[in-house]
Structure 1
Amino acid sequence: MVIVAGETGSGKSTQLPKLCLQLGRGVHGLVGHTQPRRVAARSIAERVADELGVELGGAVGYSVRFTDRVADHTLVKVMTDGILLAEIQRDRMLRRYDTLIIDEAHERSLNIDFLLGYLAQLLPKRPDLKLIVTSATIDTQRFAAHFHTADGAPAPIIEGVLGMARTMRR
């Protein structure tokens, strides 16, 4: 579990899924990426697909209420947090995923709070599942204390990723 805190526009939402793929994630399961709003989920999926040079609905897809553009060969699935909550009802272990990115955690909606609490309990049962929590204005120490490792160590924190988007587009 990693916490990534960076200013709005720093590239967290669009670059982290690509970094996950570069690190070999998305092979044994999907890279799931949640957004609190439908418009954001779709636009981020479009941007990631464009930057990877793939068609939307192929390697990069999205799922929001009433619209599902995910294929059998999809590697990155951007979705609303409500979609992931619905998937938990069908698969409590979230076996379809090898990585989850919970974006905009500072919004602290009921959906996000429930997901974070549930994932904190799921991670010890799924050591293969990697979790990234991102936010522009998150209390990193509080989240790190909530998501501690099996040996009691706090979750690692990466702060100040300002400029990530500019650097990675060169």
Structure 2
Amino acid sequence: MRRALDALYDGAAWLAALAMIGLLAMVLLSIASRQLGFHVPGTDAYAGYLMAACGFLALAHTFKRGEHIRVTLILLRLKGRARRALELWALAAGTLLAALAAFYAVRLSWQSHLFHDISTSNDATPLWIPQLSMAAGSIILLVAFVDELVLEVQGRRSHATPDEALRNE
């Protein structure tokens, strides 16, 4: 199960990296088209869609690697049961928030599909298509939070040392 979850997080990160390459391509195409006197419609909109995909698809991988910003001022001073209780509370709250975000991201994408919502830009893209990356990234983040919560309950979760925590604060 651990391999499958890690493959899920890594796969989402690779998709985020591909979206970032696509974002670069859209920006370069937009710049080149302005300089060379032609217009490619939709490059700004697609750059925005790809930027959202980059952010959402990388969330779980970043979280699992301990790269999200955490306020550890209190946490590092606590020991034993108090620290474990605070970790459990934080992971439970994060799981709840990730579940809400995933629910509403999926709902938004589904409603955009039902209502045939399209971009107001000149590309007229059905919005449910780029919203899928937001929904998928939110679901994968929820899976990562549940994963961390289960590991913490089982006592198998690794914690950052004070030196490690300083690199992302």
Structure 1 length-normalised TM: 0.28
Higher RCO by CA contacts (8 Å cutoff, separation 6 or greater):
1
The structure number with the bigger radius of gyration is 2
Specify which structure has the higher proportion of helix. 2
Structure with greater strand share of residues: 1
